[in-house]
Amino acid sequence: MAQLKQETYNKTVVLVGAGMTNLQVITQAKKFHALQTQLVLLDVNSFWFFSGMAAEVLSGYYGLKDFHLDLRLLAKQYGIEFVQDEVTALLPQQKKVMTASGRMLEFDLVSFACGTISAMPEGDVPAEGSFPVKPLKNVLQIRNEIETCMELFPKKILELLVLGAGPAGVEYAINIADLLEERRPAPGWKITLLEAQSKVLPGFPKKAVIIAEKMLKASAVTIRTKSEIQHVQSNRIVLDYGETLEFDLAVVAMGNRVIDLFMQAGLETNENGALVVEPSLRAQNYAEIFAGGDCAQLKGASFSQSTQNVRQQGPVLVKNLLATLQSKPLQEVSGSKCPVQFVSLGKANALVIKGNTVLEGKWVRTLKQCWDRRILKRYRTYLT
């Protein structure tokens, strides 16, 4: 099988997935090259999409160029090899990963930042007319599908469902409503937001729930709670009590899970398939395997895997990969127990939440946009 190691390098670090933690490793490529170590980036996509901007792509506020990075260009800039392929197996004992094309990549160290995929009802697969919110590139297909339906069926009342009323479901429902209202004023469409629990934004402070419900209703989104989904079929869903709802398009935002990569490799995972790692981001019992971001579960951590906390993992991952190559002690990650979280509420509003403190308003939306652009700009400056 073809191997990626080059004769000028003594060791290889394979980066599986272009998540935020691995992106920061890429920007420090010179430090690895100085240790005669090659970096190889493996990702199924040739672009990295930023989740913070995804929902607002639907409303039309952002375009494709605003919320993505060209991974090939980034890899070329830093003298690393980019492989566009999907990892299908991890072989810890052999220190190899296998790809969908049959390629076998050997590594001295491997770092996973491959994120998550959307969870579906057990046994279901994405059906005709339904689009999971993960992978994030689906947002472009969702918007294109909505615009196509409006063009092909100008007199039809479009039936849209958003499955799941967590932050992603709320953001997508309101931003889709903004797009439809601009292109086809009501009553030319109907959006229904379905949630299995008794309220939207489960687990969030009461004030956030009240504001979100108010904004959803103002956007003409119908909220249906205590509606557990049993099956997603082609252009219809089946609820737990037998009711069926037909749709022209459904957005699936029912939570996320990690691909069955780590479990199949015999590594310890949590209930969602995330790899359990030490505070150093290293897998237990495997000194060569690291993981960060949504595909990792920090053992014993008292803080969540929020965007804010994940960003803090990147520098620690860089230091620990370098330390491992040099047989030096590892550092541990830290995080906030009350990280800042933004929720987009369309073109005129947003929420910012920290612990039980909830603020809203147009100024929060402006703050969110500045925050999002700053994150993306940080990586784009590396392409100059």
pTM for the whole structure = 0.88
**Phi-psi domain of 129 (left: phi exceeds 0; alpha: psi -120 through 50; beta: other):** left
pLDDT of residue 124: 64
Residue 306 has pLDDT above 90, yes or no: no
User: Among candidates 262, 305, 302, 299, which has minimal Cα distance to 278?
Assistant: 299
- Work out the angle at residue 141's Cα, subtended by the Cα atoms of residues 138 and 143, and round it to the nearest 5 degrees: 110
Cα–Cα distance measured from residue 164 to residue 168, given in angstroms and rounded to the nearest whole number: 8
Superfamily of domain 130-256: FAD/NAD(P)-binding domain (3.50.50.60)
User: Residue 210: which pLDDT band, with cuts at 50, 70 and 90?
Assistant: very high
How many Cβ atoms are within 10 Å of 167's Cβ, its own excluded? 22
Chain segment 6-50, per-residue pLDDT in tens:
457 899 999 999 998 999 999 999 999 999 999 999 999 998 888
pLDDT band at 184 (very low <50, low <70, confident <90, very high): confident
Round to whole Å and give the CA distance between 347 and 103.
Answer: 45
- Model confidence at 243: pLDDT above 70: yes
Per-residue tokens: 261: 């990569």
pLDDT at residue 71 is higher than 80: yes
| pLDDT over 90 (residue 166) | yes
What pLDDT is recorded for position 196? 92
- For the chain, which residues make up each domain, given as ranges? 11-44+85-116+258-337, 130-256
Band of residue 216 on the pLDDT scale cut at 50, 70, 90: very high
Do 11-44+85-116+258-337 and 130-256 show the same overall fold? yes
Taking residues 125-134, report their average pLDDT: 80
- Given the candidates 3.30.70.980, 1.20.120.1200, 3.50.50.60, 3.10.129.10, the CATH classification of the domain at 11-44+85-116+258-337 is 3.50.50.60
Query: In which band, very low, low, confident or very high, does the pLDDT at 301 lie, cut at 50, 70 and 90?
Result: low
DSSP string across 201-244 = STTS-HHHHHHHHHHHHHTTEEEE-S--EEEEETTEEEETTS-E
Instruction: Give mean pLDDT, residues 323-330.
Output: 96
